[in-house]
Structures are given as structure tokens and as C-alpha cells.
Amino acid sequence: MEQCRWKLGGKPLAVRLLLAWCWSATNGVCTGSRGRYTLLEPIELARSAVEVASDRQASDIVLLDIRAVSLLADYFVICTAETERQLRAVVGAIVEDTENKGQRPLHVEGSIESGWVLLDFGAVIVHVFTPEQREFYHLERLWAQATTVLRMQ
């Protein structure tokens, strides 16, 4: 049985309490089908996604701290992939990296063909856009009150 699968951010109160107990009862060390691993703090997960996106040549990477303006999550990572092929590579690399660290996306929305893929890790939400979709949705403007933690051109 897999314990402590998700971190606390963005969950209903009952789930948060259960996960907080699980986290403290195991000292942050969880066991699952892939062995033992330590859960990442949301900021560590967000920074890891930024690093992987950068390694895959994503552009205009932004890390937003949305804790003060939303209960939805703690952090947004927003980046641009120039082509569908690059979008697939960025998304695949982020998922692979987080799975290797013992965390999987809770939900994946969108598709490569749509030009926008959203990876929901609970406390961290990663948005990977093509340039056209990024310009159309302009999430930074929508979340303008959030704190910009990092911006990489």
C-alpha cells in the first residue's frame, strides 16, 4: 500500500489532515511500489520542474507563488515550448523526473495537439504552452497579484 502519495496544498481539509498525519507519522519517508522515497516540498517540486523545463529548452519560464491569492495550489510553473515535439519532450521529462522522485501528477489536462498541457501535482501546477496558446491565455496577467519567484527568458 502506497503511503503519503501527495503533499498538502490544494486539497480539501479532511484530506489535508489525513496527509499531514501520514507525513508526520512516517517522518516524510514513504513506501510504495518503487521502494522508499522522500516527498518533495512544494517549492522543491516547482524548482525541479523549472530545471527540467530549462534543460529541455523551454522558454519564458515563470514560477509564481500563488499561496496569497488562491487556495487552488501553492505554485504555478508556466513555460513555453516552441513546437509540439518540444512540448511533448518537456511534459515527458517533467513527468519522468517527478516519478523518479516518487511523485506523480494527480491529473493531466490538455493535449499536445491543443498546445497546452497542465500537470497537476496538487500543491504545484505546471502549465506548458505553445507560443500561440501562451499569448492567448496569458496566465501571468490573470495571476498578476501572485508573487513572481523566478523568471527565465
Is residue 22 in a domain? Answer: no
Is residue 20 in a domain? Answer: no
CA distance 125 to 115: 16
Is residue 21 in a domain? Answer: no
Q: What is the pLDDT of residue 15?
A: 46
H-only helix segments in 56-138 = 84-100, 131-137
Amino acid in position 108: V
Structural domain of 140: 42-152
How many other β-carbons are positioned within 10 Å of the β-carbon of residue 153? 6
Is residue 107 in a domain? Answer: yes
What number is the average pLDDT over the span 68-89? 97
How many distinct structural domains can be found in the chain? 1
Is residue 3 in a domain? Answer: no
Is residue 61 in a domain? Answer: yes
Residue 76, domain CATH: 3.30.460.10
Is residue 46 in a domain? Answer: yes
What number is the average pLDDT over the span 48-67? 98
For residue range 95-146, list pLDDT tens digits in order: 999 999 989 999 999 999 999 999 999 999 999 999 999 999 999 999 999 9
For residue range 9-39, list pLDDT tens digits in order: 444 444 444 444 444 444 455 544 444 445 7
| Angle at alpha carbon of residue 105, lines to 46 and 148, rounded to 5° | 25
Is residue 37 in a domain? Answer: no
